[in-house]
Structure 1
Amino acid sequence: MNARDTGFPRADAEHDFLRARRRQVLGRLANWLRREPDDVNIMLPFDEVVEALGYVGERRIGMRMVPLGSIVGSVDRSRDFDRRFRPTSGRVRERWERLALAARRGEHIPPIEVYRVGDLHFVIDGHHRVSVAYALGLDAIEAAVTEVQTKLKPKGIRYRGDLIVKDYRRLFLSRVPLTGEARAAIVVGDPWDYAHLGEHVEAWGFRLMQSEGKFLDRATIARRWYTEEYLPVVEMMRQAELVGDRTEAEAYLWVAGERYRLIRQHRWDDEVIEQLRARRH
């Protein structure tokens, strides 16, 4: 029994709800004081996540015990609960307290239903049950799981704003279909950089086709750009200590832009390197 429990399940269920609401309000205040992003405590919308990652297919995998900490979003109830499934208002109170009372009495609580994307879970049905489980200090909850396959992995998604980066990366990889190690190597933080990099690779591919006098498909251009352009340039930048705090892809994009701005042609020599070193800050 919790130290705060009265021993009367109905009264304790009511107190559970009030504590959950208080924690939700305090969480919002703490985020404001820390000047964290507005979406840091907002539940992730399933449809937006899948759209950003690129839907491939899905399959039912049955009943599983799902860690509460992996449940980060919802299909359609993101307004009623925050990221940690604390109630955002009193409108869910009646049903919430009814479930809390049942749980405290030891009654059977039906499993929830979720979508799984990578190691993240999104509630289809059972938002109140997840919220009550959090309030009662549980670590996991039984769920019927449907696994959703996506083109990109959800790694790195923390807030709703992270979906923009994933969406632009998905579009970039549709334009520049890299695979394997090359695919993993190209990472930038600013979503617009994916758009700029896509344009750059397409322009590089166009010049390559002009030079060789034949058509090349996107996959071929992507592979040759990575091996013939990107890797040699990045290696030179490492030797010249030009990468700095950027990712290698960000450093490449910067130096490629500077190269064209400085000389408007394909040339790498000591003079160009010295000009780039002077501009790295």
Structure 2
Amino acid sequence: MSQETENDFSKARNKALINELQHILTPEEASMISFKQIRQIIKPQNETYVGMQTIPISKIVGSEGRYKDFDNQFFPKNSFMKERWEHVDEAVIKDIILPPIRVYELGGLYFVRDGNHRVSVAKSKGVEFIDAEIVSLQTEIKLSPVRTLGEMLRQIIVYEKKNFYFETSFGDITDYWNLDFSSPGQYDIIYQHILTHKYFINQGIKKEITMEAAITSWFNTVYMPVIAVIEKYKIMKYIKKRTAGDLYIWLIHCYDELKKKFGDGIPLDIVANDIKQEYKWSLFKKIKNLKNKLLFRRKKK
């Protein structure tokens, strides 16, 4: 390889190292998005072969199989990639026409199936467009280009909330617009809780209740009482970066598991208090460990 390709790889590798150092406390923010993970969350319906197109590199945000080898900006994370990366770089320098990359299109963004090194070299050189063979996965969600998995998940959660509120009229029925979650897929769980609640109500009456009545009943007799217990024991104080909706689902899950083992006579307050004590103790241990580390460093000085 030429000196130029070695220099190019060194620059790209150094950018990956700098990115890693800048996110040393939050390494996930420097990690590339895994197509497999996003596909499992969004659950697209069908695949359609689109064919050859020129696509903007700014919309390539992840990879199917090499997401551990590159960072979220497609800079190489490992030195063992040097030889192959430099071969691609040398071809670009010599104006050798490379085959198109292969990508999945999902929600308006692209994930590399084949050609990760070509994307990496192109990004390092500031190239804006690249030829790609596209397979499109059908979904209604439209995503904006992002660099981190967290940013993409937040987009998905916003989309899920919008759909849930629109399809169920949940906000209009309850006048409650703060049913929020910190991870995708939770609105489907809430919908199943409402359907289950509706089913049990219908067991004792002749005329089936409406979905609106079921939502109102579930909200007033199930959700809000659980939220009241969460607030009573101030659990949110000890569990950061979580929503009341998250804790509702978690508390109900723990409660259902205990009922399977010990029957229906367990008060919800006991479950809530146990969760609070567990996290209170966990927080105490984290603080204690931090103090011990600080004391140890001072002694070494």
Q: TM-score range by the shorter chain?
A: 0.5 to 0.7
Q: Distance in 2 between matches of 1:63 and 1:79?
A: 27
Give unpaired runs (5+ residues) of structure 1.
1-8, 231-249, 256-281
Cα distance, 1:162 vs structure 2 = 6.6
How do residues 65-84 of structure 1 correspond to structure 2 at under 5 angstroms? 65-84=54-73
Aligned to 1:38: 27
Aligned to 1:57: 46
Aligned to 2:194: 201
How do residues 1-281 of structure 1 correspond to structure 2 at under 5 angstroms? 10-32=2-24, 35=25, 37-150=26-139, 154=143, 159-160=148-149, 179=167, 188-191=180-183, 194=187, 197-198=190-191, 200-206=193-199, 209-210=202-203, 213-214=206-207, 221=211
1:183-233 CA-partner distances (Å, limit 9, x unpaired): 9x89623238647634642354236525752457xxx73x66569988xxx
Instruction: Say if 1:56 and 1:149, in contact at 8 Å, map to a contact too.
Output: yes
Letter in 1 for 2:198: G
Q: Distance in 1 between matches of 2:158 and 2:202?
A: 25
Aligned to 1:279: none
SS at match of 1:91: helix
Instruction: Say if 1:61 and 1:146, in contact at 8 Å, map to a contact too.
Output: yes
SS at match of 1:179: helix
Greater Cα shift, 193-202 or 95-104: 193-202
Letter in 2 for 1:206: Y
Query: Which runs of structure 1 show a deviation greater than 2 angstroms over 4 or more consecutive aligned residues?
Result: 150-173, 176-183, 185-200, 206-216, 223-230, 250-255
Give unpaired runs (5+ residues) of structure 2.
172-176, 220-242, 249-301
Aligned to 2:287: none
Cα distance, 1:132 vs structure 2 = 0.4
Cα distance, 1:179 vs structure 2 = 3.3
Q: Distance in 2 between matches of 1:93 and 1:213?
A: 72
SS at match of 2:180: coil
Instruction: Say if 1:114 and 1:146, in contact at 8 Å, map to a contact too.
Output: yes
Aligned to 1:272: none
Cα distance, 1:19 vs structure 2 = 0.2
1:201/1:167 CA distance change after superposition, 3 Å = farther
Q: Distance in 1 between matches of 2:70 and 2:21?
A: 16
Instruction: Say if 1:52 and 1:163, in contact at 8 Å, map to a contact too.
Output: no
Structure (1/2) with the larger helix percentage: 2
Q: Distance in 1 between matches of 2:121 and 2:15?
A: 13
Aligned length: 219
TM-score (norm 2): 0.58
1:107-141 CA-partner distances (Å, limit 9, x unpaired): 11211000000111111110000000011111121
Instruction: Say if 1:151 and 1:170, in contact at 8 Å, map to a contact too.
Output: no
Cα root mean square deviation, aligned: 4.2
Greater RCO, CA 8 A, separation 6+: 1
1:204/1:160 CA distance change after superposition, 3 Å = same
Aligned to 2:174: none
Letter in 2 for 1:179: E
